[in-house]
Copies of this chain bind each other. A is one copy, B any other.
Amino acid sequence: MTNQTKFDVLGIGNAIVDVIAPVDDVFLGQNDITKASMTLIDEERAQGLYGVFPSAAETSGGSAANTIAGIAGLGAHTAYCGKVADDELGKTFAHDLRATGAAFETAPLVGGPGTARCLIAVTPDAQRSMSTYLGASSLFCVDDLDEDMIRDAAITYMEGYLFDRDAAKQAFVHAAEIATAAGRKTALTLSDLFCVDRHRQSFLHLIRGHIDILFANEAELLALYETVDFDKALARVREDCAFAAVTRSEKGSVLLSKEEMININAAPVEKVVDTTGAGDLYAAGVLYGLSRNLPLAECGRIGSVAAAEVISHYGARAQTNLRILSGLGVSS
């Protein structure tokens, strides 16, 4: 780090409002929803699907935004870049994110598509199946980057989902370049198995050139390196990246630096209700720890506690005080 930073973590991602409802597996089949994955849909499909959707709850979401909200809840200084529209959902998203303490200044889109919505169908096994209409969020481009914010953030964290649109992908690479030039750290999450499959070469290029901290789940990591051998994939990512955190659902996670490799247990959960946001909140805990230079094992522990909180209820944002839950005390 070259000097004091204003923000611990800046997130860049798709600014999305979640529409979340309990369904059964029959509903997924009847409505052609791919289970436990994220599928991009257009506005017509979004309206049609909403029409058959059960009574739902609306909560602010977006993978990187969930992570930023979690980091803010842990007591660090955060900021976010992402595109909403100048509509009611956009105002809700902005309110909810700012209410966590995060700085959020990206200009809303006027006169274009509406704020992004993600229809999340949660089955009784707590798996979430997501159908995302990207709307305004997909028009995020280089001009929406706040370069000063990036230079002012110790870590710039980006979500792989953005790779599904070229203009956003370009903004992404540019953001990584600014951060790196300013002597800051960059972090990336692979986001989704199919997203990795769609953009494998771009991801590898970005990771090798610009990423210091990588988040992935086991399936995404295997897909990235096109192998079924987990140990081999771990060895590969260790070559490509200074730090990686790989989640394995109830099996916990693995944290890797050049010097260390640590297994972290998943935190106990009384009843898993909805796994939406599990990876996002895990990343929040780890990034919080890294921003405070905590030992790797402590970074992983806080990540596991935050993930356990968010899967115990519907919705991808924490509903309890993460600082107290993590044993970090009342004030930061």
Contacts and interface: CB of A to CB of B under 8 A. Distances in A.
Contact of A313 (B51, B59, B314): B314
Contact of A60 (B55, B100, B315): B55
A88 interface: yes
A202 interface: no
Contacts of A89: 88
A56 B96 contact: yes
A97 B55 contact: yes
The quantity of this chain's copies bound in the complex is 2
Interface in A64-99: 69, 87-89, 92, 95-97, 99
A99 to B, nearest CB: 5
A59 B60 contact: no
A53 B99 contact: yes
A315 B274 CA distance: 15
A50 B319 contact: no
Contacts of A56: 59, 95-96, 99
Given A22-B319, A314-B313, A320-B22, A69 B55 contact: yes
Contacts of A55: 60, 69, 95-97, 99-100, 317
Nearest to A59: B57
A95 B49 CA distance: 12
Nearest to A53: B99
A250 to B, nearest CB: 21
14 contacts: A53-B95, A53-B99, A54-B100, A55-B97, A55-B317, A56-B59, A56-B96, A57-B315, A58-B59, A87-B88, A88-B88, A313-B313, A313-B314, A314-B319
Closest 5 CB pairs of A and B: A55-B96, A58-B58, A57-B59, A88-B88, A55-B99
